[in-house]
Amino acid sequence: MGTHSTRFRSTYDWQQDSPVGAVVNAVSRASGTDPMALPPLYRAVDPDALDGLVAADDRSADHDLRVTFRFAGYAVTVTGTGVVELFEDSEHSEKSGESEESTAG
């Protein structure tokens, strides 16, 4: 199993921000990568399902909600309380052929 170290944490208001947009924004900021250069999020998680689960109208049930998945070299956790946490995903980096980071030279 891979190890995870905290890389980035940000808080959003799900009544104003879409969880999908928040994930893309957070990964873009943490990695210094243009959002359009990131791999498609739908390869990691169903965007409609993520938005539906996290931005649900009934807030009383969402406080314990945590959705975790791998995306663009990070383990991403999105909570019902508006937190997006990114952890460097060494397991992903070691086993994936995705080109979220390429080093030439």
| Residue 105 maps to a domain | no
pLDDT one-digit tens code per residue, 95-104: 433 433 332 3
| Residue 104 maps to a domain | no
pLDDT one-digit tens code per residue, 50-70: 999 887 755 555 568 899 999
Torsion sign across C-alpha atoms 47, 87, 34, 15: positive
| Residue 21 maps to a domain | yes
Q: What pTM, to 2 d.p., does this model score?
A: 0.77
101: its two tokens: 């980071």
Q: What's the structural domain count of the chain?
A: 1
- The residues pairing with 68 across neighbouring beta strands, listed in sequence order, are 77
| Residue 27 maps to a domain | yes
> Which residues of the chain carry a pLDDT beneath 70?
1-6, 57-63, 91-105
Amino acid identity at 47:
P
| Residue 100 maps to a domain | no
For the chain, the average pLDDT equals 80
| Residue 101 maps to a domain | no
3-state secondary structure of 36: helix
| Residue 103 maps to a domain | no
C-alpha–C-alpha distance, residues 31 and 64, integer Å: 27
